[in-house]
Structure 1
């Protein structure tokens, strides 16, 4: 499955260039089985080969991720928690399960709006974290800044790793997975400390 998926991702990127990277990353928000852990490193590798500009790859990926996140934000704002939760109970609703909705809302309650930036660095979570932001009617400017910040860092890291590993770009997740988890762990601890201080000030 991974081999077939990577071949399809490769064909899209080869056909559309940096725009293809942006389209795939946008779709990842709506169709989680499309992993940016494959899309971004391949974009970095293609840039190293000279077939694409690395800055355009990063820019298109960041814009694509923001567009996808924005779509989920407005969906959450339009439908509200109860309707989204009800839809998530149907098998045909591919965006998220009811457990995903509960998990995303719990993270939002615990860490506040900072979970938007942190969630962009966590597989699966980044595909659903925009829904609770929309449900809570989080200010658009704050949502945009946090989404773009987290997305920009995530994209730069994986595109850069794909550039560095070259032909071994498919192994990026093997190296970056543990690193991203450690980074997210530190960020979550920091967010927790800030939240605790605010409550006790």
Structure 2
């Protein structure tokens, strides 16, 4: 995949970075941990400008958040609450749980979006709850841009410094993202089992 990403950037330049970072948010198996270091390496060769690479990578990342944001916004809290009240018992999930989660996101959503954009494995998924909680679009774009800018800067800078060894960034961060996703799934499973046990005791 590294060769394909590099070839695309060689042929399309900044447009290639933009398109890849948009797609990365919708198709996580295409990781930014590979795209941006590759772009940083291209900048180290003098083919691209490092600041422009970071700016275009940030823009692509922010644009890539919008489809899931709008899907979450279209689905909405009330529709999800109705679904949970009707079918959520199979997942030990109630409408009240949805409202609590939405209240939490209303309180901490800005920080979740900002710092979540720096976490491999979940950075692409935060757009959905942001849309569902109806976070104002300007606020969502601002914090997405800040987090994405920091992430793009770190990755492109690493690729610039590592040169031909830029793919080492993905080798280290790739496994980390899998660990984070696994930890989130385990935490969700533990919550599910505890919730189910608590409901069983009440009944």
Same fold (TM over 0.5): yes
TM-score w.r.t. structure 1 length?
Answer: 0.70
Q: Which residue of 1 aligns with 2:150?
A: 153
Distance 1:109 1:173 in 2: 33
1:117 aligned onto 2:114: yes
Q: In the alignment, which of 30, 54, 58 is matched to residue 54 of structure 2?
A: 58
Q: In the alignment, which of 15, 19, 40 is matched to residue 23 of structure 1?
A: 19
Please report how far the alpha carbon of residue 108 of structure 1 lies from its aligned counterpart in structure 2 after TM superposition: 3.6
Q: Which structure has the larger Rg? A: 2
TM-score w.r.t. structure 2 length?
Answer: 0.69
Kept in 1: contact 2:76–2:134 (CA 8 A): no
Please report how far the alpha carbon of residue 113 of structure 1 lies from its aligned counterpart in structure 2 after TM superposition: 2.6
Kept in 1: contact 2:33–2:173 (CA 8 A): no
Q: In the alignment, which of 42, 45, 49 is matched to residue 49 of structure 1?
A: 45
Q: In the alignment, which of 66, 69, 88 is matched to residue 65 of structure 2?
A: 69
Please report how far the alpha carbon of residue 109 of structure 1 lies from its aligned counterpart in structure 2 after TM superposition: 6.9
Write out per-residue CA displacement over residues 85-122 of structure 1, whole angstroms, 9 at most, x where no aligned residue.
Answer: x9xxxxxxxxxxxxxxx9xx688478433100111111
Distance 1:128 1:175 in 2: 21
Once the two structures are superposed, the pairs formed by residues 158-173 of structure 1 within 5 Å of their partners are 158-173=155-170
Q: Which residue of 2 aligns with 1:11?
A: 7
Q: In the alignment, which of 135, 139, 143 is matched to residue 142 of structure 1?
A: 139
Please report how far the alpha carbon of residue 177 of structure 1 lies from its aligned counterpart in structure 2 after TM superposition: 7.5
Query: How many equivalent residue pairs?
Result: 157
Q: Which residue of 2 aligns with 1:132?
A: 129
- Please, which runs of 5 or more residues in structure 1 have no aligned partner? 87-101, 181-201
- Please, which runs of 5 or more residues in structure 2 have no aligned partner? 84-97, 178-203
Distance 1:161 1:64 in 2: 19
Please report how far the alpha carbon of residue 124 of structure 1 lies from its aligned counterpart in structure 2 after TM superposition: 2.1
